[in-house]
């Protein structure tokens, strides 16, 4: 029940700082202890970092396959410029 709420929308606002990831881990561990009554080892589930990567890859696959409502590929590719000194891509 907790995990879908916790990780909802992470491809859009992906927590990138170590502090935010540690906060996610604390909430996840607390929920697991509450549900299972014990500490659950990392071997039994995905770590927060692995879950975030999985969510990003799943979202990207859905965009490539046209399964998402938004045209994410256009947002990723069109009007993308590299900011180099010489202006080349």
pLDDT above 60 (res 12): yes
pLDDT of residue 32: 80
* pLDDT score of 46: 79
Residue for token digits 């970092």?
49
User: What's the pTM value of the predicted model, to 2 decimals?
Assistant: 0.62
Give residue 31's Cα distance to chain centre.
Answer: 19
Question: Encoding tokens for residue 88?
Answer: 């080349």
Give every CB contact of residue 74 below 8 A, 6+ residues apart in sequence.
Answer: none
Q: What is the pLDDT of residues 26-56, one digit of tens each?
A: 888 888 888 877 777 766 777 888 888 888 8
Quick one: pLDDT at residue 42?
66
Question: 51, 29 in Cβ contact below 8 A?
Answer: no
């Amino acid at each position: 029940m907790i995990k879908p709420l916790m990780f909802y929308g992470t491809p859009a606002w992906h927590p990138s700082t170590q502090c935010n990831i540690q906060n996610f881990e604390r909430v996840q561990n607390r929920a697991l202890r509450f549900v299972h009554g014990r500490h659950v080892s990392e071997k039994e589930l995905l770590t927060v970092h692995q879950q975030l990567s999985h969510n990003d890859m799943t979202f990207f696959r859905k965009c490539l396959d046209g399964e998402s409502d938004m045209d994410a590929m256009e947002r990723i590719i069109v009007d993308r410029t590299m900011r180099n000194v010489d202006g080349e891509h």
